């Protein structure tokens, strides 16, 4: 039973770290210019707007990959 509680604990820590990072990105996203990086595409017209944040998605993916790899390292 100890092995499952240890795995659950590591999962919860990883999920908590991920939520903190996502929360910080949401709070400081405008300061870091997330959503308006070079490579983010926006088209607009009369009464409509389409946004495709390609560069922002790549940056967030790299950050989450690094964090999750650091958290999930097993001895």
Q: Which of 75, 69, 71 is nearest to 17 (CA)?
A: 71
What is the C-alpha separation between 72 and 30, in angstroms, rounded? 30
**What is the rounded distance in angstroms from the CA atom of residue 64 to the CA atom of residue 51?**
22
pLDDT in tens, 49-75: 998 889 888 988 998 888 888 877 765
Question: Mean pLDDT for the chain?
Answer: 83
Q: What is the pLDDT of residue 36?
A: 81
Residues 1-56: pLDDT tens digits? 456 777 888 888 888 988 898 888 778 877 777 778 888 898 999 999 998 889 88
Domain boundaries, the chain: 2-71
Q: Which of 67, 47, 63 is nearest to 55 (CA)?
A: 63
Residue 16 CA to residue 1 CA, distance in Å, equals: 23
User: Can you give the pLDDT at residue 45?
Assistant: 93
- CA–CA gap between residue 55 and residue 75 (Å, rounded): 34
pTM, to two decimals? 0.57
């Amino acid at each position: 039973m100890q092995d499952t509680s240890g795995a659950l604990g590591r999962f919860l820590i990883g999920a908590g770290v991920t939520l903190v990072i996502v929360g910080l990105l949401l709070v400081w996203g405008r300061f870091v210019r997330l959503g308006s990086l070079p490579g983010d595409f926006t088209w607009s017209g009369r009464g409509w707007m389409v946004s495709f944040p390609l560069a922002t998605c790549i940056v967030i993916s790299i950050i989450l990959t690094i964090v999750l790899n650091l958290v999930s390292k097993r001895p």
